Structure formats: structure tokens, C-alpha cells
Amino acid sequence: MELIASFKVDHMRLLPGIYVSRKDTVGKEVLTTFDIRMTRPNFEPVMNTAECHTIEHLAATYLRNHEKWGGKIVYFGPMGCRTGFYLILAGDYESKDVAGLITGMYEFIRDFSGEVPGAQPGSCGNYMDMNLPMAKYLADKYLKEVLYDITPDRLNYPE
């Protein structure tokens, strides 16, 4: 079997950033999958499931309620390796096109206070596995180390 595209990316050279992972056509619509890489694979510790879960709930809430982008959100969720997240948007986009959206999302997470949306037994299958303080810390770290001064090498996969 042939390796899928994401397994062909050199994860030893991959830095935290926002990358176009793939583009697929479904009917007449292009779907763009973004690799939102928060930690450096195989060099930094991965995120624990509680903070991944919290980021997922907050990010999905932010994205689906976004005035401009909300109707284009197909999916947001964690990578199995726990080094980042996938965002799928309806439309043909590049990383630079969504940098502002992603920055706003992580600012929302960093600044969030209160009960995590959907973190109740009737709304979530594992509602107690949440860590808001750590999610806020990781969002702030990603903003400061990657998003606020994002450079081309953090917007395009390494060659």
C-alpha cells in the first residue's frame, strides 16, 4: 500500500505552524485540510488528551460561530499523535488565508473563562477529561511562538 500524503511529510523537520495538508474535490467543491501543528513532532512533548479535548471544544465553538468562516467549517479535531489539529474548510485556500482566523481562535481559547461549552454529560462522551488552564497556556504559547510573527517556513511544509 502507498503511504498517504501526511505520512510523507518529514516530521523530523516539521515545525509548529499552519500548513495545507491536502486539497480534495467533492462534487464541485474543493475541501482544504489544514495541519495546525502546535508542537514540534518527535522533539517536544505531545499535548495530553485533556487539553486537546478542551481546545477541540473551544475551537469548534469559535469556528462554527465565526461570522465570516462559520459556514465553511467542515471539521476541526485533534491529530492522533497529539501534536496538533486538523481543520477542514469548504473552499480552495492557502495557509496565509486562514492565519487571521487561527490567530483569533487561539486568542479566544487563551482568553476564555467559564464552563467549557459542551462539557456536560449530556453533550460529551468524556466530559470530565478537560483541562482549561493547560489549554489556555498552550494557546498563549502557540500565539507567542508561532502565530503573532508567522513566517513563510511556518506556512509551507518543509521540502
Domains and CATH numbers, the chain: 7-149 (3.30.1360.80)
DSSP result, the chain: -PPPGGGGS-TTT--SEEEEEEEEEETTEEEEEEEEE-S-TTTSPPPPHHHHHHHHHHHHHHHHT-TTTGGGEEEEEE-TTSSEEEEEEES---HHHHHHHHHHHHHHHHH--SSPTT-STTT-TTTT---HHHHHHHHHHHIIIIITT--GGGTS---
Q: pLDDT tens digit string along 19-29? A: 999 999 999 99
Q: pLDDT tens digit string along 122-157? A: 999 999 999 999 999 999 999 999 999 999 999 999
pTM above 0.85, yes or no: yes
